[in-house]
């Protein structure tokens, strides 16, 4: 897979504060999620990726080029920062036209492009409204709109869903997936894990300035098989099932009252044996679920102890 964003032993510090610590990662085409708690280093990572700041150590490449002081590259990379830094006297339309002119649009072309993107973000009704009167969600959307002005190949979006209502959030997720299907490469940061999971399987987990893991969520899932998997079973004879499972050699613990709560480091063996155990003991299993295949569980496992 072609590498879109490459970090090679990258560190960035602010005085005595380490923002990014020896980060090495390759992010390919399509949508990728940069996932971590607040203060994990996501914003530093993105600012480095677009050349907004310079690394103290290491190599940063985007589309094969260094982004630092690279004006030609900026036309192919759209950036929506997390923070707001609007001119208070500007309306949404003024801001978009001003940004369009920065990318070389002139006259009516700048106005046309601005209105197209305001409509795409469903902000045409607020075009004449001052940015200081925009809600958090509206500010997020207009930042994405300005990032799209030059029709870039690559989008770097820092917490773009933060502040959006649930309906608009889903609409934005659908829009990002649609843009990706049309060939854009998108890196989206978030601390809300299930939102990223709705957009992509490709993730980079970051915490305290360090890259914890990267790649396909299912590949990352294979890295954590040493941790017990939590499985919940609803059965007609929960006490009997717990008794039979306790006697196996691949179960760490069994608990529950009305349900059977199982912890095992050998999920493949467990899933292979559970039908046999149920059939032999005439136990009806009504439901079997595990939350350990989702992004939330992966993140929790891989960052276990990181917040201590």
Question: Could you state, in order of their start, the residue ranges of all structural domains in the chain?
Answer: 3-222, 229-302
Give the whole-angstrom CA distance, residue 308 versus residue 305: 5
Among 46-50, 63-67, 72-76, 278-282, where is mean pLDDT lowest?
72-76
pLDDT tens digits for 69-85?
998 898 899 999 998 88
| Average pLDDT score over the chain | 90
238 has a pLDDT exceeding 80: yes
Edge-first strand order for the sheet with 210-216 is 77-80, 154-158, 185-190, 31-35, 202-207, 210-216
The confidence score (pLDDT) of residue 306 equals 42
Pairing of strands 202-207, 31-35: parallel
pLDDT tens digits for 93-142?
999 999 999 999 999 999 999 999 999 999 999 999 999 999 999 999 99
DSSP structure class, residue 12: E
Question: What is the share, in percent, of the chain residues with pLDDT greater than 90?
Answer: 67
The confidence score (pLDDT) of residue 308 equals 35
Cα separations in angstroms, 286 against 20, 232, 248, 256, 283: 47, 11, 21, 16, 9
The confidence score (pLDDT) of residue 167 equals 85
Q: If DSSP states are collapsed to H, E and C, what string results for 222-241? A: HCCCCCCEEEEEEECCHHHH
Give the whole-angstrom CA distance, residue 290 versus residue 285: 14
The confidence score (pLDDT) of residue 296 equals 64
Mean pLDDT across 201-213: 91
**Domain spanning 229-302 has what CATH number?**
3.30.70.100
Q: What spatial distance separates the first Cα and last Cα of the chain, rounded to whole Å?
A: 36
Q: Say which residues have a Cβ less than 8 Å from residue 213's Cβ, sequence separation at least 6.
A: 203, 204, 205, 220, 223, 298, 302
**Domain spanning 3-222 has what CATH number?**
3.40.50.300
């Amino acid at each position: 897979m072609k590498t879109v964003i490459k970090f090679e032993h990258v560190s960035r510090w602010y005085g005595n504060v380490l923002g990014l610590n020896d980060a090495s990662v390759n992010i390919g085409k399509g949508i990728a999620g940069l996932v971590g708690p607040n203060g994990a280093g996501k914003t530093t990572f993105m600012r480095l990726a677009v050349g907004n700041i310079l690394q103290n150590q290491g190599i940063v490449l985007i589309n094969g080029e260094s982004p630092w002081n690279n004006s030609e590259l900026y036309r192919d990379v759209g950036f929506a920062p997390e923070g707001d830094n609007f001119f208070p006297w500007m309306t949404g339309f003024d801001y978009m036209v001003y940004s369009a002119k920065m990318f070389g649009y002139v006259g009516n072309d700048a106005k046309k492009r601005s209105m197209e993107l305001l409509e795409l973000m469903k902000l045409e009704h607020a075009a004449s409204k001052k940015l200081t009167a925009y809600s958090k969600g509206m500010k997020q959307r207009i930042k994405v709109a300005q990032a799209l002005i030059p029709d870039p190949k690559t989008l770097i979006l820092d917490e773009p869903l933060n502040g959006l209502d649930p309906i608009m959030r889903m609409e934005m997720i659908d829009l990002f997936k649609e843009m990706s299907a049309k060939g854009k490469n998108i890196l989206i940061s978030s601390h809300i894990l299930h939102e990223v999971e709705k957009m992509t399987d490709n993730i980079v987990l970051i915490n305290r300035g360090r890259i914890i893991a990267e790649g396909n969520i299912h590949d990352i899932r294979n890295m954590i098989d040493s941790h017990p998997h939590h499985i919940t079973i609803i059965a007609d004879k929960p006490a009997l099932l717990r008794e039979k499972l306790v006697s196996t050699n691949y179960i760490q613990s069994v608990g529950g009252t009305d349900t059977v709560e199982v912890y095992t480091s050998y999920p493949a063996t467990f899933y292979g044996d559970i039908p046999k155990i149920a059939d032999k003991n005439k136990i009806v299993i009504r439901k079997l679920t595990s939350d350990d295949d989702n992004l939330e569980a992966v993140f929790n496992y891989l960052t276990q102890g990181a917040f201590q």
